[in-house]
Structure 1
Amino acid sequence: LSILHFNDVYEITERKKEPVGGAARFASLMKRNIYDITKQTGERPLVVFSGDCLNPSTLSCATQGRHMIEVLDTLEVDVAVFGNHEFDFGVEHAAKCIERMTSTWLLGNVIDKLTQQNLGGGMTKHIIKRNNGLKIGLLGLVEEEWLDTLATVNREDLEFQDYVERGREVAAELRADGADLVIALTHMRWPNDIRLARMVPDIDIILGGHDHEYGVKEIDECLIIKSGSDFRNLSSVDLFIRNDGCVDVKISRYDVTREVEEDPYMLKIVERYTSVLEKSLDHCIGVVNTSLDGRFKMVRSRETNLGNFVADIMASVTRADVVLINSGTFRSDGVHSCGNFRLHDLMTILPINDCVVTIVVTGKQLLEALENGVSLVPKYEGRFPQVSGVTFGFNPGAPPGSRIVRDTLMVQGNPLDPTREYTMATKAYVARGKDGYTCLSKCRILTDPDSGPLLSTVVRNH
């Protein structure tokens, strides 16, 4: 069995830095692999995708991710698992987009209480019978952490089933259905994929997403593969089932560089969707005198100049005592060179329509918010805080909830007063308690979260 795997694709245009990616070059690489494998084995490879395509991206601001229907269908995706960003425009919108795709979408451990169905209409399991008689069982699993990030879904309307317990159940069902090989498509962080591999021996291989760095790990004879992001990487996985039932695996990594030719058909799709936006996005809105670091591994683990830049602008506009932004706000996952700063750069960094709001917090609530922000370090989680008006240190080795070093916590240069009220500028998303910031959901709101200025507009105006 041969499998082609990729995950977490946002921008369909290529970037300047190698590997440049881009849907057109990626499609060329994909088609070449499909052709070569089919010619070599006599059977087409299985194409699978591990979530996140409808958002966030510059184009999604205009299409709400609908352009990805045509893109994924052109890539001939067979099976996929939902990612958290599939729901950025609502559950109903996600379900409609998925219905229009030719691929089968899985999500077997989150129940929508409103419908009593799997969230988004995802299937629990799927079996594919190959021409050689091999039966492949697939299941889709996600982690609980990203349920807190869903801006359009009330967490109370969702029933989460532990991915290990659910994985055991569904994998056993697939084995009972005659599956020779069980593959889990997941959209969760490495530690959770590792736990799944250790705890569910019926799963032969995990093809994951959510993390954006390419990686392969073997845990207790179960392989976990994550294939990068943004059309920059592709994995070819060849599996051989021996007579004793053991599985031999060969993994080939492909990087989408400029040496890969663009596929003409996909290039037309890309040009059609991007031509309308190109002229306006190329407009220079300012000049920056230093590189701005928006790499996920940086902005989701420490103070960065990009985080400071945006947070300080929010402080200037709102005149709040404190600014707190969840680092999942910053979507570019790259370094932005000094020089002309174009509208395209801004929309790459801040593609999501986030409204700026001002709320009133007590010192105690501010401390709770910061504790939440650093609670999952060293995972590169989007809840990590970028701030202005407040300084603090934290110990990542301390228990979650007790990581902030209290003596370092200062607001406007003064020690935090737990009983005092402070004004905080943040995003409506955070103020509603998303990304684990539940301590802020009951705070008094000074500005309307549904009609406040967009964060990208605030930065552009600055």
Structure 2
Amino acid sequence: MSPTAAHLTGEKTLTILHFNDVYNVESVNTEPVGGAARFCTAFKSFSHLHPLVLFSGDVFAPSFMSTFTKGEQMVPVLNALNIQCAVYGNHDFDFGIDVLKQRVEATTFPWLMSNVIDNETRRPLADGKCSLVSDWHGTRIGLVGLVEKEWLDTLSAVDPEHVTYTDYVECGRLLARNLKDIQGCRTVIALTHMRTPNDLRLAKEVEEIDLILGGHDHVSEFIEVENRCIIKSGTDFRQFSEITMRFSDEKEKPSISVRLMDVTSQYDEDVDLKKVLDGFTGVIGEKMEEVLGEFTVPLDSLFASVRTSETNLGNFICDIMVAATDSDLALLNSGTLRSDKIHPPGPFKIRDLSQILPMLDPLIVVEISGEDLLAALENGVCMYPKLVGRFLQVGGMSFAFDPTKPPLQRVDPRFVRIGDQYLELKTKYRLVTKAYMMAGKNGFDVMKRQKILVDEEDSLPLNCVVQNHFQAIQKLLRRHSLARTIESELHPDGIIQTAIPETVSIRLRRCSTIEAPNEAQKTKQRSPKLRRQSSMEEVEKASCKLEPRIEGRIVVLNEETLVHLMSEREAWQKSVAGTIRKSSEN
């Protein structure tokens, strides 16, 4: 419809550009390649439509660059996009409220946090705004910013007891009515940072909100519910949404259409923004290109995989955690794994590792009973199949769960194995996990009462442990190469095999092993019959090919898997009985 025709019929058109969850300013190697500078060019191509630019949170962290800059590199990006309003995301709080306030003060637009109040200041958390009214080219628009309690409880920098949370439906309804009835807004848009099921509930229960622009889920989706729309716009500067709202005098609700835009290599990089970003990337770019190792298989870090199932990447990292800390088992919340992509076979760089593990997550070793371990596993699968970060990746163990059963009743204790032994509720196990989980985050309250054997001060961040593991592999490979060279010179026929000196093996393991303090070593209490997990040297040898696999550590129970697991347990029981019988005979 032409502008003249629209004017005669009383129709108004509003163009919105929306994006969410952006972490890495660099482009990737596959289409859509994205990149912040190219993203800026794509946005500028819509400037003739005078778009309302809205953002749904998560920008200042996590990323490898942010570990150096604390998100400062994102400020010029945000300001270049001509954003009118944003809502906070959970990762915007990763460096604490004070740092977040510094970043926000440097931006040129308001941030919303409608339903979380700081108890000390009695204002929205991090000095956000409760709501916003914008008269945008003749259309009066109301904006609210709503978040879910689930991620609020996971913030390491915010104590839940220091804030007051209001349910997003209750708050959204109250604010939307005020914006429409009192402040005369033609439409109300909710910027949200929460999972899709919560966005669906908001759409179903708050009719005063016309459009929900969400984040938190790294997906592109368009859902219509009760004559309202939910839109999420991809992730990481690779996609955004062009949304058209049409208002007619004859209709109370606007009509809404959306077009998902891919940021491909056809867009040139914005020269001015790229120059600014090069100032950040140049400092660490050389370091990020360092090759750590080479994988012969793809590594699956997709959120849809790591947050619902066992993955080869999760197994690889958890095995390193176990070996580096001489533990029985490892539990890792899948929200730790951040790259949300398939890493192809071939050279694996620090850049890849930084995308997977962007945060400096200290490891902690604790003593945990079988009973509490079972409770932790239950929490890990209680929200399955939602894509939540509490879903676990594990090392040194396996378990099975039935998603058809009620939450916290899904894990079958009969099929939990630690090493080659089945779980005993009263047995104490040596568990390695993250400080984040030990603080009770992601619902792991049971972790807070465990006895600490190795604390943060005596530990290393997870990404450092993984880097040390790669370095140990390289040392092992160089030693093997030297041994083969010497052998070929001394024994051309290759008959004599060269052994690895034990002292060298010990030094190698120490390169990537976290030593426990003497006091902690004294307090270790394990079942005497528990088979030790692989040593660091064994893991290194097995990892020289770098081809981690899925091994059946996390099994969804059904008729077929139940029969298989029962058969395994019966065979184990017969083996144990035979061992006991032979022992008694001797």
- 1:244-266 deviations in whole A, cap 9, x for unaligned? 32211121211011122211122
Match of 2:189 in 1: 183
2:96 counterpart of 1:72: no
2:46 aligned with 1:33: yes
Q: Of the candidates 83, 91, 96, which is equivalent to residue 89 of structure 2?
A: 83
Q: What stretches of structure 1 of length at least 5 have no aligned partner?
A: 38-43
Deviation at 1:281, TM superposition (A): 1.2
User: Which range moves more in the overlay, 333-342 or 348-357?
Assistant: 333-342
Q: Secondary structure at the match of 1:246?
A: coil
Matched, 1:136 2:141: yes
Query: C-alpha displacement at 1:450, in angstroms?
Result: 4.5
* Aligned equivalent of 2:321, options 308, 314, 318: 314
Q: Confirm or deny: 8 A CA contact 2:414 2:423 kept in the other structure.
A: no
**In structure 2, C-alpha distance between the alignment counterparts of 1:316 and 1:208, rounded to whole Å:** 40
2:415 alignment counterpart:
408
Q: CA deviation at 1:90?
A: 0.4
In the alignment, does 2:179 pair up with 1:174? Answer: yes
Asked if the contact 1:355/1:451 (under 8 Å) is kept, the reply is no
CA contact (8 A) 1:428 1:450 kept: no
Matched residue, 2:460: 453
Q: Distance in 2 between matches of 1:439 and 1:112?
A: 27
C-alpha change, 1:450 and 1:159, in structure 2 (3 Å) is farther
* Other-structure match for 1:233: 239
SS in 2 for 1:149: coil
**1:203 aligns with one of 206, 209, 213:** 209
Instruction: Say which structure is richer in strand.
Output: 1
Question: Which has a greater percent of helix?
Answer: 2
Counterpart Cα distance in 1 of 2:365 and 2:47: 52
Partner of 2:167: 162
Query: What does 1:293-312 correspond to in 2, within 5 Å?
Result: 293-312=300-319
For 2:67, which of 61, 65, 68 is the aligned residue? 61
- Which range moved further: 102-111 or 80-89? 102-111
How far apart are the structure 1 equivalents of 2:137 and 2:169? 31
Offset of residue 424 of structure 1: 0.8
**Structure 2 CA distance for aligned equivalents of residues 451 and 26 of structure 1:** 42
CA contact (8 A) 2:318 2:394 kept: yes
- In the aligned structure 1, how far is the partner of 2:140 from the partner of 2:59? 28
Report the CA distance shift for 1:343/1:130 in structure 2 as closer, same or farther (over 3 A): closer
In structure 2, which of residues 380, 398, 402 is the aligned counterpart of residue 395 of structure 1?
Answer: 402
User: What one-letter code is carried by the residue in structure 2 that aligns with 1:3?
Assistant: I
The answer (yes or no) to whether the contact 2:335–2:390 under 8 Å persists in 1 is: yes
Name the structure 2 match of 1:14: 27
AA matched with 1:24: A
Name the counterpart of 1:109: 115
CA 1:26–1:198 in 2, change beyond 3 Å: closer, same or farther?
same
Amino acid aligned to 1:331: R
Give how far 1:115 is off.
2.5
Deviation at 1:451, TM superposition (A): 5.0
Comparing 429-438 with 238-247, which one deviates more in the overlay?
238-247
Q: Residues 385-442 of structure 1: CA distance to partner in whole angstroms, max 9, x if unpaired? A: 0001121111222211011122211112222111221111001111111111111012
Q: 1:107 to 1:227 in 2, by over 3 A?
A: same
For each residue in 1:349-380, what CA deviation from the matched residue of structure 2 results, as whole angstroms up to 9, or x when unmatched? 11101001101111111111111111111111
Which stretch of structure 1 is more off in the superposition, 297-306 or 253-262? 253-262
State the match for 2:428 in structure 1. 421
Q: How many angstroms apart in 2 are the aligned matches of 1:159 and 1:319?
A: 42
3-state SS, counterpart of residue 309 of structure 1: helix
Q: Shift of the alpha carbon at 1:289? A: 2.1
Equivalent-residue separation in structure 2 for 1:239 and 1:449 (angstroms):
51
Query: What is the deviation of 1:32?
Result: 0.5
Q: What SS does structure 1 have at the residue aligned with 2:412? A: strand
Which moves more between the two structures, 321-330 or 403-412? Answer: 403-412
Distance 1:24 1:373, change over 3 A: same
Q: Does the Cα contact within 8 Å between 1:52 and 1:85 map onto a contact in 2?
A: yes
> What residue identity is the alignment partner of 1:299?
V
| AA matched with 1:375 | C
1:214 aligned to 220, 227, 232, which one? 220
Matched AA of 1:95: K
2:63, 2:355 within 8 Å by CA — same for their partners in 1?
yes
Aligned partner letter, 2:399: F
CA contact (8 A) 2:15 2:52 kept: yes
Opposite residue 173 of structure 1, the aligned amino acid is N
SS in 1 for 2:449: coil
Q: Tell me which moved more, 5-14 or 357-366.
A: 357-366
Amino acid at match of 1:17: T
User: Which deviates the most, 412-421 or 190-199?
Assistant: 412-421
Report if aligned partners of 2:242, 2:259 keep a CA contact under 8 Å in 1: yes
| 1:241–1:277 distance in 2 versus 1, CA, 3 Å | same
Q: Distance in 2 between matches of 1:127 and 1:323?
A: 49
Q: Are 2:164 and 1:150 equivalent residues in the alignment?
A: no
Which of 388, 392, 402 is 1:385 aligned to? 392
CA distance in 2, matches of 1:173, 1:451: 53
- Name the CA distance, whole Å, in 2 between partners of 1:401 and 1:34: 51
SS at match of 2:282: helix
8 Å Cα contact 1:327-1:385 kept in structure 2: yes
One-letter amino acid of the counterpart of residue 405, structure 1: D
After superposition, the Cα gap between the structure-2 partners of 1:451 and 1:95, relative to the gap in structure 1 and judged at 3 Å, is farther
Q: Does 1:251 align with 2:255?
A: no
Aligned mates of 1:91, 1:452 — CA distance in 2: 26
Indicate if the aligned counterparts of 1:11 and 1:22 stay in contact, CA closer than 8 A: yes
The reply on whether 1:353 has 2:360 as its aligned counterpart is yes
Gaps of 5+ in 2: 1-13, 470-586
Q: 353-362 or 108-117: which moved more?
A: 108-117
1:93 shift after superposition: 1.3
Q: Which residue of 1 aligns with 2:53?
A: 47
Per-residue CA deviations over 1:204-227 (Å, capped at 9, x if unaligned) read: 000000010100000001100000
The amino acid of 2:112's aligned partner reads L
Equivalents in 2 of 1:218, 1:450: separation in Å? 50
Q: How many residues matched?
A: 454
Amino acid at match of 2:21: D
Take 1:433 and 1:382, find their aligned partners in 2: how far apart are those partners? 13
The alignment partner of 2:293 has SS state of: strand
Cα distance in 2 for residues equivalent to 1:154 and 1:376 = 23
Larger radius of gyration: 2
Task: Please tell me the residue identity of whatever aligns with 2:177.
Answer: A
- Deviation at 1:110? 1.1
Matches of 1:6 and 1:451, distance apart in 2: 41
Q: Which residue number corresponds to residue 346 of structure 2?
A: 339
Q: Which residue of 1 aligns with 2:532?
A: none
